[in-house]
Structure 1
C-alpha cells in the first residue's frame, strides 16, 4: 500500500505555490523577453530596409517628370505630390548637401527619437542634381499599412500566448504545490538551472512521483514554447516571401497604369483585383503551411487552359522584365493544354519560378517561358541566362530556407521558401519539378503535370452527343 504524504499546512502550501509560480514566471519572462527582443530587432531592420526601398520607389515615380521641370515651383509641386502620395516628409538639397531647395519637414516632427532618415541621390541624365532626404517614423510605420496590420496581429498573438502560458503555469503550479512536500528543493534547483543556463534543455525525469510530475510539466511547457516559436518564425518568413511575389505584380500593374503604359481599363483593374484576392487566400493558407513540413493542401481543381494561364502570368511580369532590360519570351504549346488543376496554386507555382528567373537574370539577359505536350504529360519550362546553380546545390535548391548565394541580402536573395512551397504544390498535383543548370550560364526549371486522358469538357460533349 502506497504511503500517503503528510498533510501540508496552509502556510506551507502558500509558500510552495509562491516559489513555483516565481520560478515559472521567471522562465516565461526570460523566454518572452528574448522572443520580443529578437523580433523587435528584426522588425526594426526590416522597417529600415523597407524605408530605403520606399525612398527609391518615390524618386523613381517622379524622376522622368523632374527632367522636364525646369522651374523651382514645378519641382516643388512634384515633391509635394510625392510626399503626400507616400505619406513621407522630404527635403531636397543641392549636390553639396548644404543648399536646401525644398523643405517639407516639420522641425518638431523631426525631433522625435524614432525618426529614421534616408538619403537618395537624384541623378538625371547622368548628372547629380542633388539629394532627396526622406524621413520615416519607425514607431508609427504609416508609410506601410500592411506593416502596421502585421505588427498589430503580432502584438495580439503574443499577448494571447503570454496570457495562455500564464494561465497554464498557474494551474500546474497550484496542483504541484498541493502535492509536493520533501521534493520541493530538488525540483526548485532543477527549474532554476533552466533559468540560469537560459537554454530549453529537457530535464531528466527522476525522483518521487510528485517530482516526476513537475519535471514532466516543465518539459511540456518548454516544448510548447519551442513549437510556438518555430511556428511563428516560419509563418513570418513564409509570409514575407509569399506576399512579395503577388505584391510585385500588383505594383507593376499600378506603376504601368500611373506611367501611362497600360490604360486604365476594366481588364487591367480585374487583373489587379485577382492578385489582391490571391493575396488574401495566401494569408489564410500560410498558417497551414507553417504548422509542419509536408502539409496537406486542399486543391480546388478546375478545368484550366494551362497555356493561357502561363501567358497571363508571363504578361504580368513583362513590366518587371522591361525594367531590367531583360528579353522575356513566351513560347506557346502547339496543342491544347487543358488540365484539371487548382488555378490559384498553379499561379503561385509559376509566379515563384518566373519571379526567381527575373531576379537572378542580369540586366540585358534573356528568359524563355513555354509549354510542351509530350507522352501524356504537359511540361512547363522557364529558361534563363542568369547566374546559374552549382552542381552541388542542385539537390538542395528545393529545400526550405536554402539559398545558393548566402552573401545576398534578404531583399535580393529571398528567404529560400518559394521553391520548396512550389515543389509541395506541384507534388500535390501528382507532378514533379526539377532544375537543370550550369554555373555561369543559366538555369532551366521544368514542371511536369500529368494530363488526364479525357477532360471534363470532352466528357460533357460526349454526354450531349450520346443524349
Structure 2
C-alpha cells in the first residue's frame, strides 16, 4: 500500500513524541521515587534520633535505655524500625545493639563520622548507627507515589495527543507546497506548460518552487520560440519556393518566355534556399558542439582588413564608408580564421543593411586584458533595450516588414553568437535608439602572447 508523505510525517512525529514522552516519564518517575524515598528515610532517621535525644534529655544519661526502648517493640507507623539501628554513647561504645553492632562494642571512628549525632543542649551525647536500612512500604508513601504515577501517565497521554495534533498540522503545512508542485508537474506533463506555483517561504521548498517556476517559464519561452522558428522557416522557404514554382509553371504554360532573366530569377531564389539550408545546418552543428574548428593564431588587423575589403563594393553601392581602427601592437588571438571571418561578415552585412546613405561603419579592435575586443559600429537606427536582449535569437527581427524587404535569413547574428562561444569568446551589443549600434565580440589572446 502506498503511504502519503503526510502520513509518514505524522507517523514519524507520533513515534518521536511517544519515545520522547516515555523516556522523559520513566526518568522523572525514577528520579522522583528515588528522591522521595531518600527524603522520607532522612525524615524518619531524624525522628528516631530525636526520640533518643528526648530520652537522654529526660533522664540525663543512657542508663536504662535498653529497658525503656526495647528493640522488639513494634515501631509506630512512619517511624524508623528499631532493630535496624544501634545506639552508641559519645565515646563510641554501643549501648543498644542493632544494625549489626553488639552491646559494649567499640565503633570505629570512620563509622562514627558517618553516623547521626544525637545532641542535647548543643553537646553530642551519642550516635545513632544505621546500616543499609531499607524502608518499609508505608501506605501514605505508596498512595502518594500511585497518585504521582497516575498524574504522570495522564500528562504523558495529553502531551502525546497534543504532539500528534501539532504534527498533523505541521505535516499538512509542509506537504501543501509539494501537493501544489505535484499538480503543476502533472499539468506540465499533459502539455499545459504555463504553470506557476506560489512561493511561500525561503527554505528548500521555496527554492524548489522558484526553480519550478523558472523551468515552466523557460519551457513556455522555448515553446513559443519553437513555434515562431517553425513559422519563420516556413515563411523563409515559402517565398523562394513560390517564386521558383511560379516561374516554372509560367514557363511550362508559355506565359513567360524562356529568357536569361527568367532563369536568373529562378537561380537566385534557389541560391537563397541553399543559403538558408546552409545557415540552419551551421547553426544546428554549432549549438550541438559538433562544428569542426581549426583553432590557431590569428592577427586581428589581417582579419579586419580582409572584412573591410570584402564588403567595400557593397558599401560603395550603398554610399557607406567603411573605416578601420586597429592599433599596430595588438597581440595575436586564438580562433578559426574562416569562422571569425564569417562572424565579421555577418556583423558587417547587418550593419550595411541598416546604415543610411552617407553614413560610416567603423571596424576596430583593442586589447582588453587577456582578450582582444573586435567592434563593428554603425550609424543606423539603433536598438531598443528589449531588442538588444533578443537580437541574437534565431529569426528575431526588430522590424519584421522592413527586414523582409532588406533580405537576410534572420540567422546571421545567431550563428555569430554560437561561433564566438565555441571559440571561447563573448559577444554582445551596445546601442542607443536613434544613435546607431556597436556589435562587439572578444577572442582569447594566444597563449604566451600577452
Common topology (TM > 0.5): no
What TM-score results when the alignment is normalised by the length of structure 2? 0.42
